[in-house]
Amino acid sequence: MEILLDTANLQEIKLASKWIPICGITTNPTIICREHTNFFQRIKAIKNIIEKKQLHVQVVGNTWEQMIQNAEAILDNCRQEIHIKIPATYEGFRAMKELSDRDIPVTATTVYSPEQAILATLAGADCIAVYYNKMYNLNMDPQKTIWEISCIIKSSDKPPKILAASFRNSRQVVEAFLAGADAATLPYNILKEFWNNPAPAQAVREFQDDWEKEYSTA
């Protein structure tokens, strides 16, 4: 079981790296654009913070050739081990195979169906990013989909990790793990929901109050 942070915000990454045992960072073009910064410099800065932890970076491009070119540019500029995120599309499956054949870690992203997961697995993907809440919003069953994918890919010689993504709340993260996800990537505001619960906070205050009433030297 792994938790990754879905962000390109350096402050969030620093905070999470200090306090939470995250296994890495995932990004996508939209997340990077929100930071209004140099793309390659930001990727290097993230890697400097997380060091040997996973970093998943998504390519852009409409054809497999463009995706490969973008992946090569990312790897050449950053000179670090990076998981290249490739959309699970017709052009993307070709790009996945090309990179996998070079022993470059590949994460298949925008996965909404077992069919996509099957092709991504056969193309050599190391991770499969299933879009949980986006499926939910389309009246699809994300839990069932993750369960079906986990059952199917077990027969592969090299089963990829199921990386659940796109969440609305922390409960969906729990549901994804129950369905068979190996990892989940979530934004910092949802990660905060894991500990920002008023019930335990109230219990701790009561313990502290009772202790001070009994043992305070004031």
Token pair belonging to 136: 């939910």
Residue 61 and residue 87: Cα distance in Å, rounded?
A: 10
DSSP code for 159: P
Out of 52, 85, 97, 134, which one is annotated catalytic?
85
> Phi and psi for 183 in degrees, rounded to 5?
-150, 160
3-state secondary structure (DSSP) of residue 134: helix
Nearest one of 138, 167, 135, 139 to 149, comparing CA atoms: 135
Residue 97 and residue 77: Cα distance in Å, rounded?
A: 22
**Whether 213 is catalytic:** no
Residue 80 and residue 84: Cα distance in Å, rounded?
A: 11
Q: Position 115: which residue type?
A: E
Q: Are strands 127-131 and 161-165 parallel, antiparallel or unpaired?
A: parallel
Please tell me the number of Cα atoms within 13 Å of 96 on its side-chain side.
27
The shares of helix, strand and coil residues in the chain, as percent rounded to the nearest 5, are: 55, 15, 30
Which residues are marked as active site? 85
